Structure 1
């Protein structure tokens, strides 16, 4: 009874009331990001030395894994070097402070992503039908798991591949690789956030299918175009070598196939629902 009253009250809210409610959800989300960001700022030494600069060290797990694979098959590899031939520097007065602040904010967003999703869901869910809310249970958990899987993939696969390739690339021995701290952090951040967003593809397809914008037939029809788009995206967030692009493209293509399956399940569920409505009519 209380849920019905709550839904009815939500439906009777004016446009300005909805904006006011959205404003408070956004405020709470921003506060969560800021609080986590402050914690990250306090422990900035750990965040930078262990996490941000982790892919710069040749002791990074990804490099060790590729080095062991290359050694086992008797092939020389750049992943077996003692250190990467580049340095990171700050060329502006406020460069390090600015990098510290923005990194703390991004850490706050990544770590606080489930809470941000929860606030978004609290705003959207009252406008859904009871059956839609029932079938959407686990949305925050699944979306968060996919996001963190993408973040880990970006951090342990895409970021080290990009850093290793770009950090060792030289047009001439006379040109030294001395990267600005902002450029280095941007490479790591782009790899991590882009992969986190890409791994949300099944969730996006689920909702697009629910509103009728996407069908399994459309996804199958444009599969080849999707493959090209995936390869382009892979080229954008990875170094321009074929191996790295393929490594990034494979999980995205798998997610695309999973999204087709999810779209089919949603269509079947909607068809059953329409069948029941026809019988009741």
Structure 2
């Protein structure tokens, strides 16, 4: 390989790493600002977060054992809310990093990427809050009878709640991730269809790891993830047909 080619590749890699650093720094600033804004609303948000487990707690409240526990809980709440509220902004940074690897005509989908990504993330978090968590708590808090009473700490609950909402939010981005990989030419609709059984197996393992240790919660996560995978397969096929049509049109011209 010629020295000029090596220099060009090194320069290209250096530029990509520089762009990645630039976008990550911007995302950090976005999250910090959003967290600061959300901190002022942490009290009513905390009441909202506590609601799914409140019926199973003595007095409807969580406990804390350290003087800083409640303060740190509000910081964590503000951070999670900052992630959700600023979703369109940090997704835009992700798109700006990915866009150079796409065809010129595919870069016009930036607004659709941001809207779809934000909607999917919020939908995943909402699905976790309104569907999965109530079912999980009903099973976990009633398991073994009602003689024993739960005393859950703020730290334990927020860790569990945050993990569930964020993981469901990220998992609901699956069709968007698959679509981008397809637009970049890294996967094809045929490849996704041929590897469907392996994909479903991987999703089942992921659902078992992420959700609480009960079958119902796992199934409640696996079903939408499989549906989202199939949506991603359809979207990749649509983009492939559009690309082939545009290539034929360019060849005629």
Normalising by the smaller structure, the TM-score range is 0.7 to 0.9
- Residue number in structure 1 paired with 2:223: 250
Runs of 5+ consecutive residues of structure 1 not aligned to the other structure? 1-12, 58-82
Structure 1 residues 132-166: Cα deviation after superposition (integer angstroms, max 9, x where no partner) = 21245411111111111111111111222223322
Q: Does 1:160 pair with 2:113? A: no
| Count of aligned positions | 241
The question of whether the paired residues in 2 share the 8 Å contact of 1:238 and 1:244 is answered with yes
Alignment of 1:136-215 (within 5 A): 136-170=110-144, 173=147, 176-215=149-188
Closer, same or farther: CA 110–141 of 1 in aligned 2, 3 Å: same
Distance across 1 between alignment mates of 2:110 and 2:26: 23
Closer, same or farther: CA 245–110 of 1 in aligned 2, 3 Å: same
Closer, same or farther: CA 129–235 of 1 in aligned 2, 3 Å: closer
Query: CA-atom RMSD, angstroms?
Result: 2.8
Distance across 2 between alignment mates of 1:85 and 1:259: 41
- Residue number in structure 1 paired with 2:207: 234
Does 268-277 or 196-205 show the bigger shift? 268-277
TM-score normalized by the length of structure 1: 0.74
**1:255 CA drift (Å):** 0.9
Question: Quick one: which of 34, 44, 47 aligns to 2:45?
Answer: 47
Structure 1 residues 44-99: Cα deviation after superposition (integer angstroms, max 9, x where no partner) = 210111x2101123xxxxxxxxxxxxxxxxxxxxxxxxx31566221223222222
- Residue number in structure 2 paired with 1:262: 235
Closer, same or farther: CA 31–244 of 1 in aligned 2, 3 Å: same
TM-score normalized by the length of structure 2: 0.81
Structure 1 residues 86-140: Cα deviation after superposition (integer angstroms, max 9, x where no partner) = 6622122322222221221121111111111123334544665431212454111
The question of whether the paired residues in 1 share the 8 Å contact of 2:136 and 2:214 is answered with no
Does 239-248 or 194-203 show the bigger shift? 239-248
The question of whether the paired residues in 1 share the 8 Å contact of 2:174 and 2:232 is answered with yes
3-state secondary structure, aligned to 1:178 = coil
- Residue number in structure 2 paired with 1:220: 193
- Residue number in structure 1 paired with 2:32: 34
Which has the larger helix fraction? Answer: 2
Runs of 5+ consecutive residues of structure 2 not aligned to the other structure? 1-10
